[in-house]
Amino acid sequence: MANLKDKSALPAYYPEFYTFPPFYTRQPNAASWSSQLSQWRSFILAYCRAHKLWRLNLADTMETDLFYNKSINRKLPLPTIREVVDDLVKSSNAEWLSSEKSIAYIYWRTPEDFASQIYSWIDETGQKGTVLTLLELTEGDNTTQQEWYGMDQTMLVKCLNVLVKKGQAQVFSVGDDKGVKVW
Amino acid sequence: MANLKDKSALPAYYPEFYTFPPFYTRQPNAASWSSQLSQWRSFILAYCRAHKLWRLNLADTMETDLFYNKSINRKLPLPTIREVVDDLVKSSNAEWLSSEKSIAYIYWRTPEDFASQIYSWIDETGQKGTVLTLLELTEGDNTTQQEWYGMDQTMLVKCLNVLVKKGQAQVFSVGDDKGVKVW
Amino acid sequence: MAFRRIDLTPALRPLLLPSETLLFVQDAVGLYEGRYKVPNFQNGSAYLTTHRVCFVNNDEPRKFSVALELKDVERFELYIPFFQNGFLKSSPKITLYLRPSNPSLLDSRDRSTSRSPTYSPIPTPPRSSTPLQSAALNRQWICPICTFPNPFPSNFGHLAPIPPCLTCGVKPNRSILDAIVNSHTPAKHQNGISDDSILQAGIQRSKNACPRCTFENDQALRNCEMCGEVLSSHPIDDPSVARPSPSRDESPAPRYLGSVPAGEQIDCVKLSFRGGGEKPFHEKLKGAMVQRKWLLDQAPAVPAITSGAANLTLDPRESEASPRTPAPTERIVGVRGLERQNLALRMNNQRAIAGAFEDLEALMSRAKEIIALAENFATQLADNPSLANSDAREALSQSAAMLSLRPTDFTVTKDQISSSSSLSLYHAELARSIADFLADDTRSILKKEGGAITLVDLWAVYNRARGIELISPSDLESAAKLFDKLQLPVRLRQFKSGLLVIQERNKTDEKVAKSVVAWLDELSDLETRDTIADNKWGKSVLAKDAAEKFGWSIAVAIEELEMVEERGELVRDTSFEGVRWWKSPWYISE
Amino acid sequence: MRRRVGLAALDRRAQDSQTRSTHGATLRRTHQSELTTQLSVFQAALSTFSTQYSSEIRQNPKFRSEFARMCTTIGIDPLAASSNRPKEKGGSIWSELLGTQVNDFYFELAVKIVEVCRDTRSKNGGLISVSEVQSTLLKKDQSTGGGGTGLQISEDDIIRSVECLKPLGSGFEVIKIGKTNMIRSVPKELNRDQAKVLEVIQVLGFVTIGVLVDNLGWIAPRAQAVVDDLMAEAYLWVDEQEGETSYWAPCSL
């Protein structure tokens, strides 16, 4: 079995217990579970951030490094994954797409943060008052460096709504696409 | 899951606290432990009586309904079972078979009671003075209704010794079997 | 007379001014006015600070605690009687000669709260309004610019320069200050002479109007409801206020604390040191008189550098002072400072230390001889107690403490060591400073920990706050043991498992048990059906839940729950999920 | 000599006790003065020693542990007194040799250990190996600008710091499981069976009921009871994804 301690090969944000087999079994003991839960929460957020994942499709990611450690052949069972994501939802770090809880938005940065980032970027690039299509924002070649590059449309709308509520922007549909004007 | 509220699903002799999780943890507080102990004592005696158990093999019964309530997933730990049986031994309601305390005779009716029952049955069936083999007593088709039907041989001898001490019977071996004469 | 009554902190220690720091404490001290002993002030502790000499009597400290401003002292002498242990045992004294301020210049800055006829000692203030607020309230002037209520500096007088406002730094003009001073004590001017004489002239004041905001308060109130200003004393002829007779036979001219024959002019005060400590007290007094820190009050608030040596107290006042001063310097010296020092040490190269080990060996063997010497000296004393007079025992415990011998293997028992006065005084002062540290509202440590903190956590938090010169665990333990003796507002408690916890004095087991059981009932009444097992027997909880509910740490939560279990009101349910607690169905409350 | 009865005997006896007491008093006084002189002589020796070697004691872990070992053998507890306690207030002379730094070193180390144990409590149930504490402290040291080449904190320093916490009734205990030193920061002691199971885990990395029955000859229910107790205290985590349920200990990770 790979030496449990040697985590040097793994990226920094991997949890300390990543190679600890029981990490993949929902612990019955309350104290152990609270530490297991917090490690899984931060791992999911960090993983999505590193891989720029806006949505977490539980079925797909079951086999990825996130929930499946091939070297020790351990997988986090689906019900436990749901339990962790539910906890993320409670602290508004996630949101289920639909009731059968198969896909969830993961806010590894809260919509408010994204909103202010977008606002200041538009301000710096002097595009205040001009209409920008959502696609431009997420796939435009001048936003490649931004954290929200490639963000999911529906999620982008959620972030822009924050600005709308603050009265700093207005979202409207341009043909079948959607545009936003920020002032 | 059977609705716990209506205990009717459980036989009458089950203790009131059968579904109370702390019932399966040895209470450190003296007062709580004394009521817990007395409930477990009567439960073991009643259970053995209902299931006509003459001996209690701790290891086997650990998984039975006696010590393990599946519905609330609680079981009485081995050391506590021993403690209860020790208490039964003190009040001569039980006797360890061997020193490593893994099997015990349970006298859900004291040997004296059994002795007088056997005596009065022999008296009523007019078999005083005749020699009866132990097997006849415990497996004879006319003793099926009697409480001691199917009793363990060694335990039967213990009961008959009560009569011998009172000078009302005599036990002797018949070939490789044992017989008793009551007068 | 210059002696004035002062307020005490919850830990019965004198309340210090913002810029005042404690220099020295000495117990077993008595007060003399001129040649006369002052009754009720014969056995207490003298606190020397940079501004004042305070005296707190041991019994009824709240009533008998006074202070003498150092600026009123012209000169002082240390008097050590020639034959100390002769027949007429007179103890060494320090005489303080007062500045001949002309008597007519009445001491307008009387700081004592005006004496209300009902001579009730100030009830210990409920924890919420600590004396800090009540003291600051009664002497304030409102800055005309930023309306910030500034405290009067202790030395304000006609000749002292005008203090700037603490927030905006603007100096008000003198007329405002005089108006406040005069308006504050109108009664006194009328009758001229003594400040705390109760024979105020029967001036008809409107029904208990507040001098500052003229709000008419109820007759019985002593602090104005609106602005908290101390109300001047009630008109005499108010029938409802029963005037107990005892205050009547106070000496007619109570200019002095004690009874001094009328007409005699007293110009000096004496402190008699019955328990020693006069030399260090004298040195520190000399230092204080030279520094004259009280003159610094006018200067802009110099950052309060915590003077090293005897300053044990982590006084809440200091923490208040630091926000105003620039980034507190001592923080850098603190624990992070130690980490930086480690860095410097690490750079140091490794010298050959073989020689050091041999010398160490030699040193240690000599230490062994001395310990042997001390041990048979102790056994000798133990064998014939008649020989063991006090200074022999003192020398023994002193040497034991200096060698910091482990009491267990040394014949002198632990309490014998701590009985030596200097050691127990150190622990008493430490205990008081910790009690204040816990009672300090800005940190509200006890509140955050739900009223109870383990001794280990307290030790870690207290040392983290000190940053430097950390206190040893055994000192904290001895200090904690004195909490009861000193009737401090906190007490040390040991749980069944041996865990030591510091708790608010009013928190008894019954109260905690009752609140836990009530909480369980409340949860069960909510009839939440999360697990089937729960509904028939009520709700069960984990130590974690109790910790969240009552704000305890996990360790304290487990101990409190086990305490309630010990009383039979709770039963436990151990599974690999951990320990769950339920209300006991077998418990028959007596 | 016949015992003289009457008044003469009376004052004779008084006289004897008188001489005996004065003799006793002089003896005591000489003894006391000798003790105080010896103390001052020792103090002088101590200060010369400290000027020469104090830096060694303060920052060389080997020297520090040697000094501490000698102190315990002759019954001295240099950490008993707070480092800032002035001598006339019962401060110990050792502070001169050790300087406030060494006392503070151990106390500050103890403060950090208390904090590390508390932070990792939910993860390991309050049982952590001394080596893990050491590596955590070094990691923390690096992150707070300690430069990583931290004053070497030896395992012995950590053990001594935890020992000095004893008077606080803290339930902090250094226990040995197998060959490794562990720090237990929860008051509940481990019984023999529980310690045995943890020892086995240290050797094999994990444990199953089957392993316990085969190696230790326990009957299954006994093994299960011990494992369940350890689970209840959060010392063990369960792993059900490979054949027989296995139990692992975060503290021996």
The yes or no reply on domain D57-187 and CATH 3.40.50.410 is no
- Same domain for A27 and A91, yes or no, is yes
Give chain B positions within 8 Å (CB) of D222: 78
pLDDT(C264) > 60:
yes
Asked if D220 lies within 8 A of B79 by C-beta distance, the reply is no
Phi then psi dihedrals of residue B94, to 5 deg? -160, 170
Q: Reduce the secondary structure of C330-358 to three states and give it as a string.
A: HHHHCHHHHHHHHHHHHHCCCCCCHHHHH
Quote ipTM for the complex: 0.70
Least confident interval from C191-205, C453-467, D115-129: C191-205
Residue pair B69/B2 in contact (Cβ under 8 Å)? The answer is no
Residues of chain C with CATH 2.30.29.30: 4-107+262-297
DSSP D89: G
Residues 178-207 of D with CB under 8 A from C: 186-188
pLDDT(C397) > 80:
no
The chain D residue lying nearest B102, using CA atoms, is D219
Instruction: Enumerate neighbours of C (3 or more CB pairs within 8 A).
Output: A, B, D
Give the pLDDT score at C252: 36
- Same domain for A120 and A154, yes or no, is yes
More confident residue, C82 or B48: B48
Instruction: Enumerate neighbours of D (3 or more CB pairs within 8 A).
Output: A, B, C
Give the pLDDT score at C269: 86
- Out of C533, C568, C572, closest to residue B25 by CB: C572
Give the pLDDT score at B156: 85
- Same domain for B178 and B93, yes or no, is no
Report the pLDDT averaged over residues C257-279. 77
What is the count of residue pairs from B and C with beta carbons less than 8 Å apart?
A: 61
Is some CB atom of chain B closer than 8 A to the CB atom of C331? Answer: no
DSSP D146: I
Give the pLDDT score at C220: 67
- Same domain for B97 and B161, yes or no, is no
Asked if D232 lies within 8 A of C475 by C-beta distance, the reply is no
Q: How far is B31 from chain D (nearest CA, A)?
A: 23
Q: DSSP states of A13-25 as a string? A: TS-TTTT-GGGGS
Write down which residue in A69, A87, A106 finishes a domain.
Answer: A106
All structural domains of chain D with their residue ranges: 57-187, 190-253
* Diameter of chain C measured on Cα atoms: 89
Is A82 a member of any domain? yes
**Domain tally for chain A?**
2
pLDDT(D249) > 60:
yes
Give the pLDDT score at C433: 85
Least confident interval from A89-93, C34-38, C193-197, C262-266: C193-197
Give the pLDDT score at D242: 83
Question: Distance of alpha carbon C225 from its chain centroid, rounded?
Answer: 28
On average, the pLDDT of chain D sits at 78
pLDDT(D164) > 70:
yes
Give the pLDDT score at C123: 36
Segments in C108-227 forming alpha helices (H): 131-138, 174-184, 186-191
Asked if A30 lies within 8 A of C576 by C-beta distance, the reply is no
Is A1 a member of any domain? no
- Return the amino acid letter for C152: F
Is some CB atom of chain A closer than 8 A to the CB atom of C310? Answer: no
Give the pLDDT score at B44: 93
Q: State which H helix or E strand residue A132 sits in.
A: strand A131-133
- Same domain for B63 and B21, yes or no, is yes
Give chain B positions within 8 Å (CB) of C565: 28-29, 32
> What is the third-level CATH fold of C509-583?
Arc Repressor Mutant, subunit A (1.10.10)
Return the axis-axis angle of helices C390-402 and C421-439, rounded to nearest 10°.
Answer: 60
Asked if C366 lies within 8 A of D171 by C-beta distance, the reply is no
Is B2 a member of any domain? no
Asked if D225 lies within 8 A of B78 by C-beta distance, the reply is yes
More confident residue, A41 or B132: A41
DSSP D88: G
Is B120 a member of any domain? yes
pLDDT single digits (tens) C555-582:
888 889 999 998 888 999 988 788 899 8
pLDDT(C19) > 90:
no
Segments in C348-454 forming alpha helices (H): 354-383, 390-402, 414-419, 421-439, 445-448
Give the pLDDT score at C249: 37
* Summary count for chain C: helices (H), strands (E): 18, 17
Cα gap C123→C119, rounded to integer Å: 11
pLDDT(B19) > 80:
yes
Is A83 a member of any domain? yes
- Same domain for B80 and B167, yes or no, is no
More confident residue, C265 or C116: C265
Asked if D90 lies within 8 A of C423 by C-beta distance, the reply is yes
Give the pLDDT score at A45: 92
Angle (CA) C543 C544 C548, round 5°? 115
Cα gap A111→A121, rounded to integer Å: 15
Kindly tell me the burial class for residue A2, based on how many C-beta atoms sit within 10 Å of its own C-beta (0-12, 13-18, 19 or more): exposed
- Return the amino acid letter for A158: K
Is some CB atom of chain D closer than 8 A to the CB atom of A68? Answer: no
The chain B residue lying nearest D227, using CA atoms, is B77
Is some CB atom of chain C closer than 8 A to the CB atom of A29? Answer: yes
Class of domain C4-107+262-297: mainly beta
Is A6 a member of any domain? no
Report the pLDDT averaged over residues D65-85. 68
- Same domain for B11 and B94, yes or no, is yes
- Same domain for B48 and B80, yes or no, is yes
Asked if A25 lies within 8 A of D248 by C-beta distance, the reply is no
Give the pLDDT score at D54: 64
Residues of chain C with CATH 1.10.10.10: 509-583
- Out of C537, C575, C587, closest to residue B20 by CB: C537
The chain C residue lying nearest A28, using CA atoms, is C577
Give the pLDDT score at D195: 92
Query: Which CATH code of 1.10.630.10, 2.60.120.10, 3.20.20.70, 1.10.10.10 fits the domain covering D190-253?
Result: 1.10.10.10
Q: What is the pTM of this model?
A: 0.60
Is some CB atom of chain A closer than 8 A to the CB atom of C578? Answer: yes
Residues 207-226 of D with CB under 8 A from C: none
- Same domain for B124 and B92, yes or no, is no
Report the pLDDT averaged over residues D62-84. 68
Write down which residue in A106, A130, A157 finishes a domain.
Answer: A106
Give the pLDDT score at B90: 92
- Same domain for B23 and B96, yes or no, is yes
Cα–Cα separations (whole angstroms), residue C292 to C166, C289, D185: 21, 5, 50
Is some CB atom of chain A closer than 8 A to the CB atom of C530? Answer: no
Is A173 a member of any domain? yes
What CATH number does residue A119 fall under?
A: 1.10.10.10
Give the pLDDT score at C199: 37
High-pLDDT (> 90) share of chain B, %: 21
What CATH number does residue B87 fall under?
A: 1.10.10.570
pLDDT(A47) > 70:
yes
Is some CB atom of chain D closer than 8 A to the CB atom of B59? Answer: yes
Asked if D145 lies within 8 A of C339 by C-beta distance, the reply is yes
Give the pLDDT score at A25: 93
Is B131 a member of any domain? yes
- Among C141, C137, C152, C150, which Cα is nearest to C225's? C137
Give chain D positions within 8 Å (CB) of A27: 237-238
Q: How far is D122 from chain C (nearest CA, A)?
A: 10
Give chain A positions within 8 Å (CB) of D204: none
Is some CB atom of chain D closer than 8 A to the CB atom of A70? Answer: no
Asked if C544 lies within 8 A of A28 by C-beta distance, the reply is no
Structure tokens at A111: 């919509």
Give chain C positions within 8 Å (CB) of B20: 533, 536-537, 582, 585
- Same domain for B15 and B38, yes or no, is yes
pLDDT single digits (tens) C228-239:
777 754 433 333
- Return the amino acid letter for A160: L
Give the pLDDT score at C36: 81
Write down which residue in A56, A88, A106 finishes a domain.
Answer: A106
More confident residue, C338 or A86: A86
**Is-same-fold flag (D57-187; D190-253)?**
yes
High-pLDDT (> 70) share of chain A, %: 96
Beta-carbon count within 10 A of D144 CB: 12
Kindly tell me the burial class for residue A168, based on how many C-beta atoms sit within 10 Å of its own C-beta (0-12, 13-18, 19 or more): middle
pLDDT(B96) > 70:
yes
pLDDT band, very low/low/confident/very high, at B54 (cuts 50, 70, 90)? confident
pLDDT(C361) > 60:
yes
pLDDT(C262) > 70:
no
Cα gap D117→C454, rounded to integer Å: 14
Is some CB atom of chain A closer than 8 A to the CB atom of D126? Answer: no
Residues 147-206 of D with CB under 8 A from A: 205-206
Is some CB atom of chain C closer than 8 A to the CB atom of A26? Answer: no
Least confident interval from A15-29, A88-102, D39-53: D39-53
- Same domain for A64 and A128, yes or no, is no
Q: State which H helix or E strand residue C323 sits in.
A: helix C316-324
Cα gap C92→C301, rounded to integer Å: 38
Report the pLDDT averaged over residues C548-559. 86
How many residues in total does chain A contain? 183
On average, the pLDDT of chain A sits at 86
Give chain C positions within 8 Å (CB) of A30: 542, 544, 577-578
Instruction: Enumerate neighbours of B (3 or more CB pairs within 8 A).
Output: C, D
On average, the pLDDT of chain C sits at 68
Asked if D237 lies within 8 A of A23 by C-beta distance, the reply is yes
More confident residue, C348 or C265: C265
More confident residue, C72 or D182: D182
Asked if D221 lies within 8 A of B58 by C-beta distance, the reply is yes
Least confident interval from C160-169, C425-434, C495-504, D145-154: D145-154
- Out of A4, A5, A22, closest to residue D237 by CB: A22
- Among C347, A7, C330, which Cα is nearest to D147's? C347
Give the residue numbers spanning the domain of A164.
111-182
pLDDT single digits (tens) B63-88:
899 999 998 888 898 889 999 999 99
Cα gap C538→C488, rounded to integer Å: 40
Give chain D positions within 8 Å (CB) of C370: 35, 38-39, 42
pLDDT single digits (tens) C109-136:
333 333 333 333 333 333 333 333 333 3
pLDDT(C314) > 70:
no
